[in-house]
Amino acid sequence: MAGIAIAGTLVVDNIKMIDYYPKKGMLADISSVSRGIGGCAANTACGIKALDPSIPIKSISLVGGDDNGAFIKQRLTEYGIDAEGILTTDEAVTSFSDVMTIENTGERTFFHDRGACRLFSPKHVDLDKLDCNLLLTGYGALLDSMDLPDEEYGTVMARFFHDIKARGIETAMDVASTKDEGLMQRLVIPSLPYTDYLIVNETEGGMIAGIEARDEEGGLKHEALPEICRKLMALGVRKCAVVHAPEIGCALDAAGNYCEEPSLRLPKGYIVGAVGAGDAFCAGILYSIYKELPMQEALRIGAASAAANLSAGDSISGLRSIEEVWELYRKYGVKTE
Protein backbone atom coordinates (compact mmCIF):
# COMPACT_ATOMS: atom_id res chain seq x y z
CA MET A 1 0.00 0.00 0.00
CA ALA A 2 2.83 2.39 0.96
CA GLY A 3 2.07 6.14 0.76
CA ILE A 4 3.01 8.89 3.22
CA ALA A 5 2.85 8.86 7.02
CA ILE A 6 2.77 11.98 9.19
CA ALA A 7 3.79 11.51 12.82
CA GLY A 8 3.85 13.87 15.77
CA THR A 9 1.90 16.92 16.84
CA LEU A 10 -1.88 16.56 16.78
CA VAL A 11 -4.06 19.22 18.40
CA VAL A 12 -7.47 20.78 18.53
CA ASP A 13 -7.39 24.44 17.50
CA ASN A 14 -9.86 26.75 19.22
CA ILE A 15 -9.80 29.56 16.66
CA LYS A 16 -10.83 32.98 17.98
CA MET A 17 -11.10 35.85 15.51
CA ILE A 18 -10.11 39.19 17.09
CA ASP A 19 -10.05 42.79 15.87
CA TYR A 20 -6.44 43.41 17.00
CA TYR A 21 -3.85 41.91 19.34
CA PRO A 22 -4.07 43.80 22.65
CA LYS A 23 -1.21 44.98 24.78
CA LYS A 24 -0.85 43.51 28.26
CA GLY A 25 -3.85 44.43 30.39
CA MET A 26 -5.97 45.60 27.43
CA LEU A 27 -9.04 44.10 25.77
CA ALA A 28 -9.78 42.87 22.25
CA ASP A 29 -13.17 41.79 20.90
CA ILE A 30 -13.70 38.19 19.77
CA SER A 31 -16.02 38.15 16.75
CA SER A 32 -16.25 34.37 16.27
CA VAL A 33 -15.06 31.08 17.75
CA SER A 34 -14.63 27.80 15.90
CA ARG A 35 -13.00 24.43 16.53
CA GLY A 36 -10.71 22.65 14.11
CA ILE A 37 -7.95 20.10 14.03
CA GLY A 38 -4.31 21.12 13.86
CA GLY A 39 -0.71 20.07 14.13
CA CYS A 40 1.26 18.50 11.31
CA ALA A 41 -0.26 15.04 11.84
CA ALA A 42 -3.59 16.61 10.87
CA ASN A 43 -2.83 19.65 8.71
CA THR A 44 -0.10 18.20 6.52
CA ALA A 45 -1.87 14.86 6.25
CA CYS A 46 -5.10 16.51 5.09
CA GLY A 47 -3.19 18.85 2.80
CA ILE A 48 -1.63 15.96 0.87
CA LYS A 49 -4.95 14.10 0.78
CA ALA A 50 -6.67 17.17 -0.63
CA LEU A 51 -4.06 17.51 -3.37
CA ASP A 52 -4.46 13.86 -4.39
CA PRO A 53 -7.04 11.63 -2.64
CA SER A 54 -5.47 8.53 -4.21
CA ILE A 55 -2.31 8.80 -2.09
CA PRO A 56 -2.57 6.63 1.07
CA ILE A 57 -2.01 8.90 4.07
CA LYS A 58 -1.53 7.80 7.68
CA SER A 59 -1.59 9.93 10.82
CA ILE A 60 0.46 8.72 13.79
CA SER A 61 0.19 10.42 17.18
CA LEU A 62 -1.13 10.29 20.72
CA VAL A 63 -4.34 11.87 22.06
CA GLY A 64 -6.18 11.92 25.36
CA GLY A 65 -9.25 9.83 26.06
CA ASP A 66 -11.47 12.90 25.83
CA ASP A 67 -13.90 14.64 23.49
CA ASN A 68 -11.12 16.49 21.68
CA GLY A 69 -9.31 13.22 20.96
CA ALA A 70 -12.48 11.65 19.58
CA PHE A 71 -13.13 14.79 17.52
CA ILE A 72 -9.67 14.58 15.92
CA LYS A 73 -10.03 10.91 14.99
CA GLN A 74 -13.50 11.49 13.57
CA ARG A 75 -12.44 14.45 11.43
CA LEU A 76 -9.37 12.68 10.07
CA THR A 77 -11.35 9.54 9.23
CA GLU A 78 -13.97 11.67 7.45
CA TYR A 79 -11.14 13.21 5.44
CA GLY A 80 -9.91 9.80 4.31
CA ILE A 81 -6.86 9.66 6.58
CA ASP A 82 -5.87 6.34 8.14
CA ALA A 83 -6.13 7.10 11.88
CA GLU A 84 -5.26 3.63 13.18
CA GLY A 85 -1.87 4.93 14.26
CA ILE A 86 -3.41 7.50 16.62
CA LEU A 87 -3.24 5.95 20.08
CA THR A 88 -5.07 7.06 23.23
CA THR A 89 -3.64 7.73 26.69
CA ASP A 90 -5.32 8.43 30.02
CA GLU A 91 -2.21 10.21 31.31
CA ALA A 92 -2.85 13.56 29.58
CA VAL A 93 -5.49 15.56 27.78
CA THR A 94 -5.49 15.94 24.02
CA SER A 95 -3.16 18.75 22.99
CA PHE A 96 -4.96 21.99 22.18
CA SER A 97 -4.26 25.56 21.12
CA ASP A 98 -6.19 28.77 21.54
CA VAL A 99 -5.45 30.50 18.24
CA MET A 100 -5.93 34.27 18.36
CA THR A 101 -6.34 35.42 14.75
CA ILE A 102 -6.45 39.07 13.68
CA GLU A 103 -9.35 39.43 11.24
CA ASN A 104 -7.92 41.82 8.66
CA THR A 105 -4.43 40.29 8.39
CA GLY A 106 -4.79 36.62 9.29
CA GLU A 107 -1.86 36.92 11.70
CA ARG A 108 -2.20 34.51 14.59
CA THR A 109 -0.82 33.94 18.07
CA PHE A 110 -0.97 30.53 19.74
CA PHE A 111 -1.58 29.68 23.40
CA HIS A 112 -0.73 25.99 23.49
CA ASP A 113 -1.07 23.06 25.90
CA ARG A 114 1.11 20.22 24.58
CA GLY A 115 -0.97 17.68 26.48
CA ALA A 116 -0.63 14.12 25.17
CA CYS A 117 1.95 15.20 22.59
CA ARG A 118 4.40 15.65 25.47
CA LEU A 119 4.31 11.87 25.86
CA PHE A 120 4.53 10.88 22.18
CA SER A 121 7.66 8.79 21.61
CA PRO A 122 9.00 5.98 19.40
CA LYS A 123 7.19 3.40 21.54
CA HIS A 124 3.91 4.73 20.09
CA VAL A 125 5.02 3.89 16.53
CA ASP A 126 4.79 0.24 15.47
CA LEU A 127 7.69 0.03 13.01
CA ASP A 128 6.71 -3.50 11.96
CA LYS A 129 3.38 -2.14 10.69
CA LEU A 130 4.75 1.11 9.25
CA ASP A 131 3.91 0.75 5.56
CA CYS A 132 4.95 3.98 3.83
CA ASN A 133 7.49 5.38 1.39
CA LEU A 134 8.01 8.64 3.28
CA LEU A 135 7.57 9.63 6.93
CA LEU A 136 7.35 13.24 8.10
CA THR A 137 7.81 13.81 11.82
CA GLY A 138 7.04 17.14 13.44
CA TYR A 139 7.34 19.31 15.14
CA GLY A 140 10.97 19.03 16.11
CA ALA A 141 11.65 20.99 19.34
CA LEU A 142 7.98 20.64 20.38
CA LEU A 143 7.74 16.89 21.15
CA ASP A 144 9.13 16.62 24.67
CA SER A 145 9.70 12.86 24.75
CA MET A 146 11.28 12.88 21.27
CA ASP A 147 13.55 15.75 22.30
CA LEU A 148 15.03 13.88 25.27
CA PRO A 149 18.79 13.19 25.13
CA ASP A 150 20.11 9.91 23.74
CA GLU A 151 23.69 8.89 24.54
CA GLU A 152 24.44 7.45 21.11
CA TYR A 153 22.42 9.63 18.71
CA GLY A 154 22.05 12.89 20.61
CA THR A 155 18.27 12.87 20.89
CA VAL A 156 15.50 10.27 20.91
CA MET A 157 14.24 11.82 17.66
CA ALA A 158 17.61 11.22 15.98
CA ARG A 159 17.58 7.56 17.02
CA PHE A 160 13.99 7.26 15.75
CA PHE A 161 14.98 8.73 12.38
CA HIS A 162 17.97 6.36 12.20
CA ASP A 163 15.66 3.39 12.78
CA ILE A 164 13.20 4.62 10.13
CA LYS A 165 16.03 5.05 7.61
CA ALA A 166 17.24 1.51 8.39
CA ARG A 167 13.90 0.23 7.09
CA GLY A 168 14.34 1.94 3.75
CA ILE A 169 11.81 4.70 4.44
CA GLU A 170 12.62 8.28 3.46
CA THR A 171 12.46 10.78 6.32
CA ALA A 172 11.33 14.38 6.51
CA MET A 173 11.21 16.82 9.41
CA ASP A 174 9.24 19.95 10.19
CA VAL A 175 10.10 21.96 13.29
CA ALA A 176 8.52 24.52 15.60
CA SER A 177 9.99 27.90 16.48
CA THR A 178 11.57 28.26 19.90
CA LYS A 179 12.66 31.37 21.77
CA ASP A 180 16.19 30.04 22.25
CA GLU A 181 18.49 29.52 19.24
CA GLY A 182 20.83 27.31 21.24
CA LEU A 183 17.95 25.09 22.34
CA MET A 184 16.69 24.81 18.76
CA GLN A 185 20.13 23.74 17.56
CA ARG A 186 20.58 21.24 20.38
CA LEU A 187 17.21 19.58 19.73
CA VAL A 188 17.17 19.59 15.92
CA ILE A 189 20.74 19.23 14.62
CA PRO A 190 21.30 15.64 15.91
CA SER A 191 18.49 14.39 13.64
CA LEU A 192 19.70 16.09 10.46
CA PRO A 193 22.15 13.34 9.36
CA TYR A 194 19.13 10.98 9.28
CA THR A 195 16.77 13.51 7.65
CA ASP A 196 16.30 13.30 3.89
CA TYR A 197 14.15 16.42 3.65
CA LEU A 198 14.08 19.34 6.10
CA ILE A 199 11.13 21.69 5.59
CA VAL A 200 11.18 24.82 7.78
CA ASN A 201 10.24 28.47 7.73
CA GLU A 202 12.83 31.22 7.47
CA THR A 203 12.91 31.87 11.23
CA GLU A 204 13.34 28.21 12.13
CA GLY A 205 15.91 27.63 9.39
CA GLY A 206 17.84 30.71 10.44
CA MET A 207 17.89 29.62 14.08
CA ILE A 208 19.13 26.12 13.22
CA ALA A 209 21.79 27.56 10.91
CA GLY A 210 22.72 30.44 13.23
CA ILE A 211 22.02 32.98 10.47
CA GLU A 212 19.60 35.91 10.78
CA ALA A 213 16.83 35.64 8.19
CA ARG A 214 15.34 39.07 8.91
CA ASP A 215 16.69 42.52 9.65
CA GLU A 216 15.90 44.66 12.70
CA GLU A 217 12.78 46.05 10.99
CA GLY A 218 11.50 42.56 10.23
CA GLY A 219 12.34 42.68 6.53
CA LEU A 220 13.43 39.46 4.83
CA LYS A 221 17.17 39.26 4.14
CA HIS A 222 16.87 37.66 0.72
CA GLU A 223 20.60 37.13 0.40
CA ALA A 224 20.57 35.04 3.60
CA LEU A 225 18.27 32.35 2.19
CA PRO A 226 20.81 30.40 0.09
CA GLU A 227 23.31 30.78 2.92
CA ILE A 228 20.82 29.25 5.36
CA CYS A 229 20.11 26.38 2.97
CA ARG A 230 23.81 25.68 2.49
CA LYS A 231 24.38 25.60 6.25
CA LEU A 232 21.44 23.22 6.79
CA MET A 233 22.85 20.84 4.18
CA ALA A 234 26.29 21.11 5.78
CA LEU A 235 24.74 20.16 9.13
CA GLY A 236 23.72 16.83 7.63
CA VAL A 237 20.43 17.06 5.70
CA ARG A 238 20.73 14.24 3.18
CA LYS A 239 18.70 15.21 0.10
CA CYS A 240 17.15 18.68 0.27
CA ALA A 241 16.67 21.66 2.60
CA VAL A 242 13.49 23.64 1.94
CA VAL A 243 12.87 27.06 3.52
CA HIS A 244 9.63 29.00 3.19
CA ALA A 245 8.72 32.56 4.16
CA PRO A 246 5.55 34.60 3.54
CA GLU A 247 7.41 36.28 0.68
CA ILE A 248 9.19 33.34 -0.98
CA GLY A 249 10.18 29.68 -0.83
CA CYS A 250 13.59 28.21 -1.67
CA ALA A 251 15.39 24.89 -1.74
CA LEU A 252 18.89 23.45 -2.04
CA ASP A 253 19.55 19.80 -2.90
CA ALA A 254 22.54 17.56 -2.25
CA ALA A 255 23.92 18.24 -5.74
CA GLY A 256 24.09 21.97 -4.98
CA ASN A 257 21.08 22.96 -7.09
CA TYR A 258 19.38 26.03 -5.60
CA CYS A 259 15.98 27.38 -6.65
CA GLU A 260 13.45 29.96 -5.46
CA GLU A 261 9.76 30.63 -6.01
CA PRO A 262 7.93 33.79 -4.87
CA SER A 263 4.62 33.53 -3.02
CA LEU A 264 1.38 34.21 -4.85
CA ARG A 265 0.23 37.79 -5.40
CA LEU A 266 -3.03 37.62 -3.45
CA PRO A 267 -5.58 40.45 -3.61
CA LYS A 268 -6.50 42.55 -0.62
CA GLY A 269 -9.14 40.84 1.49
CA TYR A 270 -8.28 37.35 0.25
CA ILE A 271 -6.54 36.23 3.44
CA VAL A 272 -8.99 35.00 6.09
CA GLY A 273 -6.54 33.17 8.35
CA ALA A 274 -2.99 31.85 8.32
CA VAL A 275 -3.48 28.86 10.66
CA GLY A 276 -1.76 25.91 9.02
CA ALA A 277 -0.32 27.82 6.05
CA GLY A 278 3.14 26.41 6.70
CA ASP A 279 1.71 22.90 6.93
CA ALA A 280 -0.11 23.42 3.62
CA PHE A 281 3.19 24.46 2.03
CA CYS A 282 4.83 21.37 3.53
CA ALA A 283 2.02 19.21 2.12
CA GLY A 284 2.75 20.59 -1.34
CA ILE A 285 6.43 19.73 -0.99
CA LEU A 286 5.75 16.19 0.28
CA TYR A 287 3.19 15.59 -2.49
CA SER A 288 5.81 16.65 -5.02
CA ILE A 289 8.51 14.44 -3.48
CA TYR A 290 6.12 11.48 -3.60
CA LYS A 291 5.34 12.26 -7.25
CA GLU A 292 9.08 12.73 -8.00
CA LEU A 293 8.55 16.25 -9.36
CA PRO A 294 11.38 18.81 -9.82
CA MET A 295 11.95 21.00 -6.77
CA GLN A 296 11.11 24.21 -8.69
CA GLU A 297 7.68 22.75 -9.43
CA ALA A 298 7.40 21.58 -5.83
CA LEU A 299 7.97 25.14 -4.58
CA ARG A 300 5.20 26.39 -6.88
CA ILE A 301 2.80 23.74 -5.63
CA GLY A 302 3.78 24.54 -2.04
CA ALA A 303 3.22 28.27 -2.57
CA ALA A 304 -0.17 27.73 -4.21
CA SER A 305 -1.25 25.19 -1.59
CA ALA A 306 -0.37 27.68 1.16
CA ALA A 307 -2.30 30.40 -0.70
CA ALA A 308 -5.37 28.15 -0.85
CA ASN A 309 -5.10 27.57 2.89
CA LEU A 310 -5.11 31.34 3.55
CA SER A 311 -8.68 31.58 2.21
CA ALA A 312 -10.14 29.97 5.37
CA GLY A 313 -10.03 30.68 9.08
CA ASP A 314 -9.03 27.15 10.09
CA SER A 315 -6.22 24.90 8.92
CA ILE A 316 -8.29 22.51 6.78
CA SER A 317 -11.22 24.23 5.05
CA GLY A 318 -9.10 26.09 2.49
CA LEU A 319 -7.24 23.02 1.21
CA ARG A 320 -7.72 22.23 -2.49
CA SER A 321 -6.96 19.56 -5.11
CA ILE A 322 -3.84 19.77 -7.26
CA GLU A 323 -5.96 20.96 -10.19
CA GLU A 324 -7.50 23.75 -8.11
CA VAL A 325 -4.10 24.68 -6.70
CA TRP A 326 -2.67 25.13 -10.21
CA GLU A 327 -5.73 27.15 -11.18
CA LEU A 328 -5.05 29.44 -8.21
CA TYR A 329 -1.42 29.78 -9.27
CA ARG A 330 -2.40 30.78 -12.81
CA LYS A 331 -5.11 33.14 -11.60
CA TYR A 332 -3.00 35.26 -9.26
CA GLY A 333 0.57 34.71 -10.38
CA VAL A 334 3.53 35.39 -8.11
CA LYS A 335 4.87 38.44 -6.35
CA THR A 336 7.33 40.46 -8.40
CA GLU A 337 8.86 42.54 -5.61
Whether residue 80 has pLDDT greater than 80: yes
Where residue 96 falls (left for φ over 0; alpha for ψ -120 to 50; beta otherwise) is beta
Cα–Cα distance, 224 to 206 (Å, whole number): 9
Domains in the chain with CATH codes = 4-21+31-332 (3.40.1190.20)
Instruction: Give me the pLDDT at residue 274, please.
Output: 83
Q: How far is CA 32 from CA 99, 146, 155, 270, in A?
A: 12, 35, 41, 18
Strand partners, 171: 135
Percentage of the chain lying above the pLDDT 90 cut: 90
**Interval 150-163: pLDDT, tens:** 999 999 999 999 99
Cα–Cα distance, 194 to 172 (Å, whole number): 9
- Among 115, 21, 102, CA closest to 271: 102
**Interval 163-178: pLDDT, tens:** 999 999 999 999 998 8
Query: DSSP string covering 110-135, please?
Result: EEEE-GGGGT--GGGS-GGG---SEE
Q: Give me the mean pLDDT over the 258-263 stretch.
A: 98
Whether residue 337 has pLDDT greater than 70: no
Q: Give me the mean pLDDT over the 184-209 stretch.
A: 98
